[in-house]
Amino acid sequence: MSSSTNTTTHHTSTIGSIGTPSRRNTELALLVFAVVIPVFAYANVGLAIDSKVPPGLLSYGLGLGLLAGVGHLAVRKFAPYADPLLLPLATLLNGLGLVVIWRLDQSKLLQSIKQAGDKAPNQLMYTAMGVALFVAVLVFLKDHRVLQRYTYISMVGALVLLLLPLVPGLGLNVYGAKIWIHVGSFSIQPGEFAKIVLAVFFAGYLMVKRDALALASRRFMGLYLPRGRDLGPILVVWAMSILILVFETDLGTSLLFFGMFVVMLYVATERTSWIVFGLLMSAVGAVGVASFEPHVQQRVQAWLDPMKEYTLSRQGVAGHSEQAMQALWAFGSGGTLGTGLGQGHSELIRFAANSDFILATFGEELGLAGIMAILLIYGLMVERGVRTALAARDPFGKLLAVGLSGAFALQVFVVAGGVMGLIPLTGMTMPFLAYGGSSVIANWALVGILLRISDTARRPAPSPAPNPDAEMTQVVRP
Amino acid sequence: MSELTLTVMRLGFLAVLWLFVIVAVQVIRSDLFGTRVTQRGSRRESGRPQQAARQAAAPPAQRQQPSGGRQRRGAPSKLVVSEGSLTGTTVALQGQTITLGRAHDSTIVLDDDYASSRHARIYPDRDGQWIVEDLGSTNGTYLDRTRLTTPTPIPLGAPIRIGKTVIELRK
């Protein structure tokens, strides 16, 4: 990867190292900012809805501040050279998500259909669990290269996680998508965790195989075609994601895993042909499955003609939903500057207004200006992940960081694209913003791993190691 | 709540949100790290004075070599690749160990079939004298024309040959 770019592009350049300050104080300052913004938003929602500052303001601010503080102290102690931006960005998104979930809790309409009411305290609890996992990752994962040992175990682990929702008695069919399992009174989305575990597997696998995949190829029409046997793994992953699509009827998860694999394959081999193959295969797969799977078909119909779907739903035809159209209306009525927090009517989306569709509330109440800022914040997180990958010195860390940030980016694209009507809607959650325990917890773990890699990558080179032979070896001087 | 207050809050919130984004971007801007790549002139001769000036302007980190009066006037300040695919690459000598080889975590990653993954290392001894040591490579490390068998001090400007790559220490 980097070695070959070094040799080809910088023939006449000077490479010198720049010192890497730890940047922890920058992180703290940004973190304070990232806690103040959601508190401001919370006060704004309260003033707009009840004309008074909400009673929970102080405890909410303290709670979020406490969580952010714990995260910051853990980073300071266990990953002092880690990236200064990831933690504040994640905190801000999580805090804003909490505020909007609380704002939707106040809606009488959503309360009446049991879609809201007590979701914000739950989400705060999930956030606490997420931050706890984040701290645990930093404490117990001293070196990300340890994960390399578990390459094939993580493959099995990811498959098990993905198959869990299909186990009878454990799986849960929620509105057509079988991606949940229930344990006790909790429902868990194993796919969110499978994302991380699968990235570990892909990184470990590609690190070993990338030379074979990159070099053994024939050139045909300007593309490097891989050998037949090297196509094996991509075909397996493709088949796996198609199976997810067929049996769990979840377009998003399937797209996420396949896309993540193609991104990592491209980064590992530098071959554009993989991207071309990946796009072709996912197109073939998606069209193929959509031609016979009714649930997917219906999603595509709703995407092509949301208004018709809306009318059918209004007429009371079963199996249709007005969500997609309502979300588009929410974005439309938001305009450029939005209606203001707490003053929109995104509760009309009804089902999943505070999870999959939470972006519509942001779009309505903060407008185009706000949604662009939110998307930029996601973009910055992905950028920091990719920057970490660039800085990482070991190929496994590079691939893992690319895989995790690629998965994060794809998830944002799939959800935002679905809600905004760019691609068919899928049942996935907006990372950090949306209501949902699995998503919040898994994404905090993801940020934890990224910070660990970035700490290793940015740590200044250690001073020359004392040579154990120094005592015995006599240095010969001329 | 009056309409005016809410409008002010709405616009204020957007402003604060964007301020955060801008501050974050500023942090990224000031957070450049890793390796600094400076393009040199196409001719070496024109490039050199610039580089000397740059080094004079750079913080004198490399000058803080071990104290104790042994600070030679002719101590090398950089390692230069003079032949091979990495020609023109320089690494500032700041008292760190420099590893050479095909392994990805080497300081200088050699893309050379004749190099071993951990081929050689260059490090300063206690007096600040730079030593080159072959790390048991297959094809050997050559200082001038002799193959290294023991860690050997590097004279200024002497070519160290590893496969097709030649490096030397310069002032």
A448: helix, strand or coil: helix
**pLDDT given for residue A132 in this prediction:** 96
User: What residues have CB less than 8 Å from A405, skipping those under 6 apart?
Assistant: A381, A382, A384, A385, A386, A388, A389, A450
Mutate to test the interface with B, among A2, A12, A394 (most CBs of B within 10 A): A12
Rounded Cα distance between A115 and A103, Å, is: 12
Tokens coding A257: 């895993």
* Alpha carbon distance A392, A254 (integer Å): 28
Task: Check CB contact under 8 Å for A89 and B24.
Answer: yes
B155 and chain A: CB distance < 8 Å anywhere? yes
Instruction: Provide CB contacts within 8 A for A91, sequence distance 6+.
Output: A31, A34, A35, A64, A67, A68, A71
Instruction: Measure CA A210 to chain center.
Output: 25
A146 within 8 A of A152, measured Cβ to Cβ: no
Question: Which own/partner pairs from A285-290 qualify as long-range (CB within 8 Å, at least 24 positions apart)?
Answer: A285/A238, A285/A241, A285/A242, A285/A245, A285/A254, A285/A258, A286/A245, A286/A251, A286/A255, A288/A242, A289/A242, A289/A245, A289/A246
pLDDT exceeds 60 at position B107: yes
- Pairs of CB atoms within 8 A across A/B: 179
From residue A20, how far is each of A84, A235, A461, B32, B123 by CA, in Å? 12, 42, 10, 9, 21
Q: What is the reported pLDDT for A224?
A: 66
What is the pLDDT at residue B37?
Answer: 55
pLDDT digits (tens, 9 = 90+) for B132-165: 999 988 888 998 888 988 899 988 888 899 988 8
Burial class (CB in 10 A: 0-12, 13-18, 19+), A83: buried
**Which phi-psi region, left, alpha or beta, contains residue A206 (left: φ > 0; alpha: ψ -120 to 50)?**
alpha
User: Closest residue of B to A373, CA-based?
Assistant: B18
Interchain pair A15, B37: CB under 8 A: yes
Query: Which secondary structure element, helix H or strand E, spans residue A268, and what is its range?
Result: helix A251-269
CA distances from residue A358 to A182, A267, A273, A346, A465 in whole angstroms, order as listed = 23, 32, 36, 9, 52
pLDDT (0 to 100) of residue A20: 55
State pLDDT tens for residues B40-87: 544 444 434 444 444 444 444 444 444 433 445 567 888 888 887 777
Task: Please give the full DSSP string across A458-474, using - where no structure is assigned.
Answer: HSPPPPPPPPTTTTTPP
Instruction: Residue A349: count other Cβ atoms within 10 Å of its Cβ.
Output: 29
Closest by Cα among B149, B145, B147, B171 to B159: B145
- Which residue has better confidence, A449 or B32? A449
For residue B167, give the H/E element and its range. strand B165-170
Could you report the predicted ipTM of this complex, rounded to two decimals? Answer: 0.85
Question: Of chain B residues 58-77, which have a CB less than 8 A from chain A?
Answer: 58, 61
**pLDDT by position in tens, chain A (length 478):** 333 334 333 344 555 555 556 788 889 999 999 999 999 999 999 998 888 888 888 888 999 999 999 999 999 999 998 999 999 999 999 999 999 999 888 888 887 777 777 888 889 999 999 999 999 999 999 888 889 889 889 888 888 888 888 877 777 666 666 777 777 677 788 888 988 998 999 899 888 887 777 776 666 666 666 666 666 766 777 787 778 767 777 777 888 888 898 899 899 888 888 788 888 888 888 888 878 878 778 888 888 888 888 888 888 777 777 888 888 999 999 889 988 888 888 788 777 777 888 999 999 999 999 999 999 999 999 999 999 998 888 889 999 999 999 999 999 999 999 899 898 887 788 999 998 888 999 999 999 999 999 998 887 765 554 555 555 555 566 6
Q: Determine, for residues A475 and B125 on separate chains, whether the beta-carbon distance falls below 8 Å.
A: yes
Phi, psi of B100 (to 5 degrees): -125, 140
User: Which residues in chain B touch residue A6, judged by CB atoms under 8 angstroms apart?
Assistant: 86, 89, 109, 111
Helix (H) or strand (E) holding A97: helix A86-105
